[in-house]
Structure 1
């Protein structure tokens, strides 16, 4: 069942419930008012009958004449007077004992069967007590209630049908923007990811849904472009050493008699093979860093202690580097330094950043500082190296991209993209600030609670 039918059905059910409750109230109060009015008319006749027939009064004859002249006689109206201490006399039908007991208790008794009504009351005359009962039919009121009942039932079904029609029209009207969104989304495929949904003015749910789809399409388009660029760059980076190796092999085959040229060619082949192995290792790490991390071990890690391990590992690669760790901004609460991370991945990410700082700083001092607040832990790596040109900063995290001033340094342009992927895996971010010829500061921000 689609949403439009569900809304229509729900609308009809709610309308039926409301209309039935309203009809019930109308029926109850109309019924109560009609019966109450007729009972009061009977009770007035009970009092008049008792006055005329039980009490001696010079005005009784006048009362009787006025009653016959001005008080209409009700359909099938009958009067019954009986002694209270005797067995109840039989009226036109047998009345329940509770009716008489209520009269003897001093109350006005009422009883109804179909449209025939009874009213009775106790009167004291002389030494005797009497029960006066008046009965009559109310065909008009009963017929009006039947008509009202018929009208309410017909009105109920007509209202339900009308509410169903209105609900169907209303649901179709409200869901029309959603259908337009679905139709537009179905037109978007891999080859036309540049298409976007029309976002109407306003801040309603449909506008937010369309904007959310557009944001998702932006991310998908960026991901597709990044993938295409990655494949293109990876192909280029892999082709270069393979071309060199192929050329050197041909040269070595042609210079069989020249041992010196063969050794030079083999040495070149070895260097390019190592370069190719490094590129493949970096590509594998870059791909693995895109996993969701659910199948990888996560643990509580003291980040200040991890920095010492990073310093030692980087010193092994760059033995002449000068790395200084600044603990002046450590928080008073040591627990703020522990976060839940994948230790191997986070160590690799920060090591890449520190290693780059050492490589491009020409053995100048590299400073690592750590600080934490209630929500975020930050690690800043600052060097006094060659810096990054402003035009290159926006591309620095693209795979295989290298800044224009790094031609004299060996590298493959994979380290920072790998670090960024790992930091994002940990729901963190990287901020970079650099000035060419002055130095670079890269700050890693990680959520304190992991």
Structure 2
């Protein structure tokens, strides 16, 4: 069916209006005809009175059939004319109602056509545009507002993607540029010895390891945002214990006191991702701390849900900057030149979302941060 003859909403509404008028009109006509058939009187013809010779009045038999059939024939003709006129009136009203239905449907659907046209013209280059529908607060305006909300989310997602790509490119390009400079300087020095070249290779290898960690973090983030294929029972206490084992050396070097309370807590999830979530939280608590500070790790049931809670001392974090900590490549001002890619907490947020877990964060008034992740019950 071509676009010109396809069953559009306007055409379907027009046919619906016309069909409703035709159906109700036909029903009304039938009822009216039945009523008229019962209301019109049946004329009974009496024979003429004739006196007999004795003075008595007698009524002869009705020999004249035409006198009886005349009124009945007239009554039938009246009903026929009434039915014909009613059918013609019904046909005319059906035609008129279809035309009016076409006009009314066009006016009602005009805002919808405007929405369709405007939405088709919006692309990735002008996602900032909105429908901004005016008029009564009806279903069409609700549809326009819903599309505006969707466009807003798409615009935010595109902007976040562009920022992510730009930040990832910067994070990957910086160590590559540094390694290239090291190698070029070493090769340009004709008097460089074995020890000098070895030192350059070691520094390049360290930079390569940083790139490897960054790429692994990017892959973990992408995997978390994709969602989970299968769920397994994950012991949060075991995941936290493993994370603490990897961070104890760094905590001891910084002089941090580690307090541990690992209660039974089993949650459905991906063991690798949950382990990464715990490791990132512990690593973040150790790294963004102060000399002689502390780190607390707790697992157990919180409100009937298995939970992991990591708290730490450290610098004061303004409440309005807490959400920014979970953005990719965000680094506190004091850690701009330090070790880390700025993906740790963003990976935590992505893993929590993938597990349908509740992530809560509170900045401590004395300094530091408390992060709680509550998983669904197993």
Match of 1:225 in 2: 159
* 8 A Cα contact 2:240 2:278, kept in partner: no
Given that residues 397 and 420 in structure 1 are in contact (C-alpha distance below 8 angstroms), is that contact kept between their aligned partners in structure 2?
A: yes
**Is 1:431 aligned to 2:360, yes or no?**
yes
- Contact conserved, 1:75 with 1:137, CA < 8 A, in 2? no
- 1:313 and 2:313 are equivalent in the alignment: no
Pair 1:284-2:192 in alignment: no
Change in 2 beyond 3 A, CA 1:206/1:395 = same
Which residue number in structure 2 is paired with residue 123 of structure 1? none
Q: Contact 2:309–2:373 (CA<8 Å) still a contact in 1?
A: yes
Q: What is the alpha-carbon distance in structure 2 between the residues aligned to residue 24 and residue 447 of structure 1? A: 65
- Aligned: 1:4 with 2:10: yes
Q: Deviation per CA, 1:124-167: give whole Å up to 9, x if none.
A: xxxxxxxxxxxx64122211101111012101211211111111
Aligned residue among 250, 254, 260 for 1:324: 260
Larger fraction in strand: 1
Work out whether 1:381 is the aligned partner of 2:300. Answer: no
Deviates more, 1:272-281 or 1:405-414: 405-414
Q: Partner residue of 2:171? A: 237
d(CA) in 2 for partners of 1:339, 1:165: 64
d(CA) in 2 for partners of 1:420, 1:228: 19
1:165 corresponds to 2:99: yes
Q: Would you say how many aligned residue pairs link Structure 1 and Structure 2?
A: 358
SS at match of 2:261: strand
Give 1:76's aligned residue: 66
CA contact under 8 A between 2:243 and 2:278: conserved in structure 1?
A: no
Q: Residue 197 in 1 paired to residue 125 in 2?
A: no
22-31 or 350-359, which moves further after superposition?
350-359
Matches within 5 A, 1:115-134: 116=69
Decide which of 235, 250, 268 is 2:203's aligned counterpart: 268
Calculate the TM-score normalised by the size of structure 1: 0.70
* Distance of 2:227 and 2:243 partners within structure 1: 27
Q: Tell me, which stretches of 5 or more residues in structure 1 are unaligned?
A: 65-73, 79-115, 117-135, 331-336
Tell me what 2:4 maps to.
none
Larger radius of gyration between Structure 1 and Structure 2: 1
Are the equivalent residues in 2 in contact too, given 1:12–1:160 (CA < 8 A)?
yes
Among residues 21, 36, 39, which one is paired with 1:30 in the alignment?
36
* Cα distance change on mapping 1:406 and 1:387 into 2, 3 Å: farther
Which residue of the partner structure matches residue 297 of structure 1? Answer: 230
C-alpha separation in 2, matches of 1:446 and 1:237: 32
**Deviation sequence 1:38-65 (CA, Å, 0-9, x none):** 1xx53x95xx99xx99xxxx9973x96x
Q: Which residue of 2 is the match for residue 147 of structure 1?
A: 81
Residue 265 of structure 2 corresponds to residue 352 of structure 1: no
Provide structure 2 residue ranges, at least 5 long, that are not aligned to the other structure.
Answer: 1-6, 252-257
SS in 2 for 1:76: helix
SS of structure 2 residue aligned to 1:198: coil
Over aligned residues, Cα RMSD in angstroms? 3.3
**Which has more helix, going by share of residues?**
2
For residues 33 and 401 of structure 1, the distance between their equivalents in structure 2, rounded to whole angstroms, comes to 89
Moved more, 274-283 or 310-319: 310-319
Instruction: Judge conservation of contact 2:364–2:370 (CA < 8 Å) in 1.
Output: no
